[in-house]
Chains A and B, each alone.
Chain A
């Protein structure tokens, strides 16, 4: 194996977080922290190297990636790295953690490993196992802060996500019964003809993987888990876990021959639009800023599903949206983590004057808010614009109206609330308390990620933009 051999990097992208997970168990918090940080950085190097080689790699019957996987690998590795590095600041302010520092880092790396494993396998059954492993690795992370609400959220997350994935497994069983294989390279090479079991499998996969991706009405675990998990973990949930579940769905959806039957396209569109609209309106009613961010993630997943179903340029838009959102949303959660740790509250009404108390965090939060809601010139704006453009081309004005309404409502709702927290002031006597300056350690990671989300919309990022285009073309989308 040489550095030019993508197989080397393919193994490294799994080996680094696996080693990080095992070695982090060393019962010395400082050592396990640095081990996890090093493992995360090594994972980023391996994922970027795979992106640079740009090749489709197959190793044996079970391992294999294409450009679609490579884009997601970089996304997962990137958020894994920034969350790991940001965790140091966050963990120091958790008073009575349920997990030791070593266990936390071991589980964080295991969580990343499960997502990366989902992305590097070519067998849909193994992909399912990888996604199910994310539940096992991440459920315990949710209870870090030893609150009864955290335990409740972890339980709901485990039981609902697992129930959803059981439906997805049922879909895979039907698919295997109809095609005789679960290897997506083989399915691509010789697409099966359309049959009732395959249509049923796709419909069940939508419900099953959609549960993990937070699609309405199976989303009920999502706001609880995102709001109760520690912020670096919430960043990984929102930024990369939900897209990884969508990735698994797209792999099953691709089995359908083109043109995709109208009934199935409509079904996928219905789930996407309903998710985007309902999340956008629910977002307005939230009193907790972490729950608000969770509903915003749901809205973005809904839009991405619309892009996937519409296809063409909208599919390309969906991929850009997912990548840019991952970086912007993780930045938003890092800011939320800083505010939560310093103020001890997630209530929007209790947080004011961030422009004075924490100017760097406040500014990053405003930028991240714009980033996640698709303000120009962020990558999310480009993604949403392409999805709307692609949808317009279908001539379905009702659909276009629905997604534009969802985008606008989410934009106004989220940014007005962040605006209140950053620029709003408390009246009268409470003002003195609210002027206490807050620590802003770790906010650099928010700027880093929000910068990537911004760059995606402004410039053609070396390799990444090209890989997103290649992935869109591979999936049957069109690229401008």
Chain B
């Protein structure tokens, strides 16, 4: 399962270095499916129905549902296939992602390493930081949704390996996904109705 963990980490790094939206969607779907494999394996070994349900929810919503909606949004906005700002800074993003992953790893090892000795425990924390980096550095709303999905994956990953039996795990996962669907479906639609754009562009008006 460590191999699956490494696979998840690699998808996280790839997400930072890609500027085309379609491969970003496919990659986050792949990341969710890898996470579901890990959850399924944990559910099998721990005989946990909760984890099995969560694995199913992750496959259905994050692996298939939300990526489908995002692809639909791209078809509605062909010109949004690529995030121009990110394309100009793709090398910087990739380097920052690797540097941040290393820093997050060391921070985790220094603070929680003595309590969680296996190196794989640091992976959810690294994934969380990668999701935050994506939210902070990207301006395309579709890409920000992908960053948010990555954060959600980090949370489920952490709950599954840090806190076996974390109460309300299924409810929390479903709730996060409901929020994801609300984000993707409702706000993007309003944005399209009112502004006709999916890029942030009102900074000057909002700067006070």
Contact = CB atoms under 8 A, between A and B. Distances in A.
B40 interface: no
Interface in B97-145: 111-112, 114-115, 124-125, 128, 131-132, 135, 141, 144
Interface stretch (A16-24, A27-35, A158-166, A350-358): A158-166
B112 A200 contact: yes
A151 B168 contact: no
A286 B163 contact: no
A140 B182 CA distance: 10
B152 A196 contact: no
Nearest to A228: B206
Contact of B151 (A126, A135, A163): A163
Contacts of B45: none
Given A151-B187, A154-B187, A155-B187, A196 B206 contact: no
Given A153-B206, A173-B162, A166 B155 contact: yes
A159 B172 CA distance: 17
Interface stretch (B8-16, B22-30, B71-79, B190-198): B190-198
Interface stretch (A174-182, A439-447, A448-456, A460-468): A174-182
A317 interface: no
B154 A166 contact: yes
Contacts of B159: 173
A286 B114 CA distance: 48
B206 A224 contact: yes
Interface stretch (A42-50, A75-83, A142-150, A230-238): A142-150
A134 to B, nearest CB: 11
Interface residues on A, range: 35 or more
A195 interface: yes
Nearest to B198: A155
Interface string A99-130: 00000000000000000000000010110110
Contacts of B144: 159
Nearest to B178: A136
A117 to B, nearest CB: 12
A53 to B, nearest CB: 29
Interface in A281-308: 285-288, 291
Contact of B115 (A149, A195, A227): A195
Contacts, number: 127
B151 A166 contact: yes
A157 to B, nearest CB: 10
Contacts of A182: 167
A170 interface: yes
Given A125-B168, A287-B208, A152 B151 contact: no
Given A129-B172, A149-B202, A196-B112, A177 B162 contact: yes
A288 to B, nearest CB: 6
Given A173-B166, A197-B112, A200-B112, A286 B208 contact: yes
**Residue from A135, A136, A163 whose CB has the most chain B CB atoms within 10 Å:** A163
A132 interface: yes
A149 B168 contact: no
B186 interface: yes
Given A129-B175, A135-B179, A170 B158 contact: yes
Nearest to B134: A163
A169 interface: yes
Given A125-B172, A129-B171, A143-B194, A170 B187 contact: no
Nearest to B113: A196
A176 B167 contact: yes
A139 interface: yes
A360 interface: no
Contact of B141 (A155, A200, A287): A155
Contacts of A197: 112, 115
Given A153-B206, A162-B148, A178-B115, 19 more contacts: A98-B190, A126-B168, A129-B175, A132-B176, A140-B190, A146-B194, A149-B202, A150-B194, A151-B187, A151-B194, A159-B135, A159-B144, A166-B152, A169-B155, A174-B162, A177-B166, A195-B115, A197-B115, A287-B208
14 contacts: A123-B167, A139-B182, A140-B190, A148-B194, A152-B201, A158-B187, A159-B144, A163-B131, A163-B148, A163-B151, A166-B148, A166-B176, A197-B112, A288-B208
